Amino acid sequence: MVGVEEAKRIMMEHFANTARRFGLSELYGYIYGVLFFEDEPLSLGEIAERTGYSLSHVSTALKLLENIGLVKRIKKPGDKRAYYTAIKNIREWRKEAYYKKIEEDVKQTRENLLKALKEVENDKSEEAEKIRQRIEFALQRNAITEKILNIFLKNEDEQVLKALLECLEEKLNSENP
């Protein structure tokens, strides 16, 4: 049992450090960690008790974790309380939450770049020409990002990464024998 508790402690610290790296309080990592190791959903009060943080702090953190797709809220029949569970399949989370958010951002970026380009289309000044060139460059980069993202959305991560690695190794090895 000592090994199990130490394994859980190591992973809890890992989740807390991950939250810190993303500029969040360690609480977000601890909440995810508590839920990650549970088989059954936990209530707000149970999560607060296990993390040692106040109900209001835990509630705020759960809203963000739910919003980014790492935690799911569940209602039990006949119980007014909300219960929470961690999304444990990180591959599915990346595809549904992470990649979808990036996809939204890429589309919004394209729309705004096109709007900005339209604003300077009839302007013949030197400054407008510079802006057009920068926007067109950004549109090209955005199109590449969109293509790469679509590859990840339509395929399994591991399959894409393996193919990408093979292509890069082959290309670099042929250039530097």
60-64, 86-90, 158-162, 170-174 — which is least confidently predicted? 86-90
Residues in the chain: 177
Q: Does pLDDT of 96 surpass 70?
A: no
The 10s digit of each residue's pLDDT in 107-157 is 999 999 999 999 999 999 999 999 999 999 999 999 999 998 888 888 887
Q: Does pLDDT of 90 surpass 70?
A: no
Which one, of 87, 85, 88, lies nearest residue 74 by Cα?
85
**Average pLDDT score over residue span 19-48:** 93
Instruction: Please give the helix or strand (H or E) that residue 151 lies within, else none.
Output: helix 126-154
What is the residue-averaged pLDDT of the chain?
Answer: 90
